[in-house]
Amino acid sequence: MSKKPQRAPLEYSKSFRLRAWIFGVLLFLYAPLLILIAFSFNDSKRNIVWKGFTFKWYVKVFENDALREALFNSLIIAVLCTIFSVILGALAAFVLWRFKFPMKGLLESGLNLPIVVPEICMGVGVLMFFNKIHWPNDLPWPISLSQIIIAHITFSFPFVAVVVRARLESFNKELEAAALDLGASQWRAFTDVIVPHMTPGLIAGALLAFTLSLDDFVITFFASGPGTITFPIKVYSMVRFSVTPEVNAASTIIIVLTLIATAVAMKFQDTSPNKENA
Amino acid sequence: MAEIKLTPEETALFLKGNSRSRRAFMAAFGATAAAFSIAACSKGSAPAAKDDGKIVIEGSEKAPLKFYNWDTYIGETTLDDFKAASDVPVEMTLFASNDELFAKFRAGNPGYDVIMPSNEYVTRMAEAGMLQPLDHSKIPNMKNIAPEFLDPDFDKGRKFSMPYTWLVLGIGYRKSAMKDGAAPDSWKYVLDSDQYKGKISLLGESMDLFRLTFKYLGHSVNDYTPELLKQAEAILVKQKAFVKNFHDDNGQDLLLSKEVDIVIEYNGDIAQVKKEDDDLDFLIPKEGSLLNSDCMCIPKGAPSPNNAHAFINYILDAKVGAAISKTILYPTPNAAAKALMDDAYKNNPIIFPPADKLAKCEYGKFLGQEYAQSIESAMNRVRAAK
Amino acid sequence: MQNWFENKRFFWATMLAPTVWFLAFFVAPMALVWAYSFGENAGPVNIAITGTFGNYAKAFRPEILQVLSDSVVLALIATLICLVLAFPVAIAMTFADDKTKSWLLLLIMLPFWTNLLIRTYALIAMMRTEGFINFTFAFFHNIAVSLGFNLGDYVPMELLYNKSAIVIGLVYVHLPFMVLPLYAALDKLDRSLIEASLDLGAGHLTTMWKIVVPLALPGIAAGLVITFIPAMGAYLTPDLLGGPNDLMIATLIERQFKRANDWPFGSALSFILMYVTLIFFALRTFFEARGGKVSAH
Contacts by B145-153 with C-beta closer than 8 Å and gap 24+?
A: B145/B316, B145/B333, B145/B334, B145/B335, B146/B333, B146/B334, B146/B335, B146/B338, B149/B293, B149/B333, B152/B119, B152/B293, B152/B363, B153/B362, B153/B363, B153/B365
CB-nearest partner of A118 from C85, C105, C250: C250
Is the C-alpha dihedral spanning B30, B32, B36, B40 positive or negative?
A: positive
Q: How close is the nearest chain B Cα to the Cα of C132, in Å?
A: 12
**DSSP secondary structure string for all residues of A65-122:** HHHHHHHHHHHHHHHHHHHHHHHHHHHHHHHHHHEE-TTHHHHHHHTTHHHHS-HHHH
Closest-CA distance of chain C to residue B372, Å: 5
pLDDT of residue B11: 42
Is A15 or B263 the better-scoring residue by pLDDT? Answer: B263
Q: Higher-confidence residue: B292 or A170? A: B292
Provide the pLDDT for residue A41: 94
- Portion of chain A with pLDDT greater than 70, in percent: 92
When CB atoms are compared, the residue of A221, A225, A244 closest to B111 is A225
Give all chains having 3 or more CB-to-CB distances under 8 Å with chain B. Answer: A, C
Give the pLDDT of chain B (386 residues) as one tens digit per residue: 334 444 444 444 433 434 334 334 434 444 444 443 333 333 333 445 555 678 888 888 889 999 999 998 999 899 999 999 999 999 999 999 999 999 999 999 999 999 999 999 999 999 999 999 999 999 999 999 999 999 999 999 999 999 999 999 999 999 999 998 899 999 999 999 999 999 999 999 999 999 999 999 999 999 989 999 999 999 999 999 999 999 988 899 999 999 999 999 999 999 989 988 999 999 999 999 999 999 999 999 999 999 999 999 999 999 999 999 998 889 999 999 999 999 999 999 999 999 999 999 999 988 888 888 899 999 999 999 98
Do C259 and B128 count as a contact with CB atoms less than 8 A apart? no
How high is the pLDDT of residue B2? 39
Distance from the Cα of B154 to chain C's closest Cα (Å) equals 16
User: What is the amino acid identity at position B33?
Assistant: A
| Domains defined along chain C, listed by start | 1-30 (no CATH), 65-254 (1.10.3720.10)
Q: Do B72 and A48 touch (CB under 8 A)?
A: no
Give the minimum alpha-carbon distance from B113 to chain A in angstroms, rounded to a whole number: 10
Q: What is the pLDDT of residue A8?
A: 57
Low-confidence ranges of chain C (pLDDT < 50): 293-297
What band does A4 get if pLDDT is binned at 50, 70 and 90?
very low
B47-165+293-346 and B167-291+350-384 in the same fold = yes
DSSP per position, C108-132:
HHGGGGS-HHHHHHHHHHHHSTTSH
Among B77, B147, B65, smallest CA distance to B312 is for B65
Inter-chain touch C176–A91, beta carbons under 8 Å:
no
Cα B34 to Cα B84: distance, rounded to the nearest angstrom: 11
How much is the average pLDDT of A161-184?
87
Per-residue pLDDT of A34-72, as tens digits, reads 999 999 999 988 877 888 899 999 999 998 888 999 999
pLDDT at B88: 94
What digits encode the pLDDT tens for the residues A208-248?
999 999 999 999 999 998 889 999 999 999 888 888 899 99
Q: Residues 163-222, chain C: which have Cβ within 8 Å of A?
A: 172, 175-177, 180-181, 183-185, 187-189, 191, 194-195, 198, 204, 215, 217-219, 221-222
Q: Are C258 and B257 an interchain contact pair (Cβ–Cβ within 8 Å)?
A: no
The ipTM, to two decimals, is 0.91
Q: Domain B47-165+293-346, what fold?
A: D-Maltodextrin-Binding Protein; domain 2 (3.40.190)
User: Are A225 and B110 inside 8 Å of each other by CB?
Assistant: yes
Amino acid at B227: E
* Residue of B372, B384, B386 with shortest CB distance to C261: B372
**Given this model, what pLDDT does residue C291 score?**
63
β-sheet bridge partners, residue B170: B265
Those chains having 3 or more beta-carbon pairs within 8 angstroms of chain C are: A, B
| Listed range (A86-90, A168-172, B348-352, C290-294) with the worst mean pLDDT | C290-294
Asked if pLDDT for residue A186 goes beyond 90, the answer is: no
* Helices assigned H by DSSP within B4-57: 8-16, 19-36
C-beta atoms of C247 and B380 within 8 A: yes
pLDDT number for residue A272: 56
Contact between chains at C265 and B373 (C-beta distance less than 8 A): yes
In the CATH scheme, what is the code of domain B167-291+350-384? 3.40.190.10
Q: Determine, for residues A238 and B72 on separate chains, whether the beta-carbon distance falls below 8 Å.
A: yes
SS3 state at B170: strand
Q: Rounded CA gap, A59 and A71, in Å?
A: 16
CA B47 – CA B310 distance, rounded (Å) = 6
Instruction: Count other C-beta atoms under 10 Å from residue B193's C-beta.
Output: 15
Q: Which of A133, A163, A235, A243 is most worth mutating to test chain C (most C CB atoms within 10 A of its CB)?
A: A163
Looking at the complex, does the CB of residue C252 fall below 8 Å from at least one CB of chain B?
yes
Q: Nearest 5°: phi and psi at B202?
A: -100, 165
Q: Is C129 on the interface with B (CB under 8 A)?
A: yes
Q: Do B104 and A221 touch (CB under 8 A)?
A: yes
Q: Taking CB atoms and an 8 Å cutoff, what residues of chain B touch A57? A: none
Distance from CA of C270 to the nearest CA of B (A): 16
Average pLDDT over chain C reads: 89
Question: Which chain A residues have a beta carbon less than 8 Å from that of B263?
Answer: none
How many CB pairs below 8 Å do chains A and C form together?
Answer: 322
Nearest CA in chain C to A129: C29
Contact A122 C21 (CB under 8 A): no
> Which candidate in A28, A94, A113 is best for mutational testing of the C interface (most C CBs within 10 A)?
A113
Residue among A243, B315, A116, B58 at smallest CA distance from C274: A116
Q: Does C63 touch chain B (CB under 8 A)?
A: yes
Is the model's pLDDT at A6 over the cut of 60? no
Nearest CB among A47, A201, A247 relative to C184 is that of A201
Dihedral, CA atoms, C221, C226, C227, C232, nearest 10 degrees? 120
Q: Is C64 on the interface with B (CB under 8 A)?
A: yes
Chain A: nearest CA to B57, how far in angstroms? 23
**Residue B5: per-residue pLDDT:** 45
For residue B249, the distance in angstroms to the closest alpha carbon of chain A comes to 7
Please count the residue pairs, one from chain B and one from chain C, whose beta carbons lie less than 8 angstroms apart. Answer: 96
Q: What is the pLDDT of residues B97-108, one digit of tens each?
A: 999 999 999 999
Tell me the three state secondary structure of residue A142. Answer: coil
Please give the single-letter amino acid code of residue B218: G
Amino acid symbol at B70:
W
Whether B258 and C66 lie within 8 Å, measured CB to CB = no
3-state secondary structure of B98: helix
Q: How far apart are CA C252 and CA B322, in angstroms?
A: 40
- Give, to the nearest 10 degrees, the angle between helix B19-36 and helix B8-16: 110
Q: What are the residue boundaries of the structural domains of chain B, listed by start? A: 1-38, 47-165+293-346, 167-291+350-384
Enumerate domains of chain A plus CATH numbers. Answer: 12-56 (no CATH), 64-271 (1.10.3720.10)
Q: Distance between CA A8 and CA C97 in Å, rounded?
A: 13
Q: Å from B300 to nearest chain C CA?
A: 14
Quickly state the pLDDT bin for A190 (edges 50, 70, 90): confident
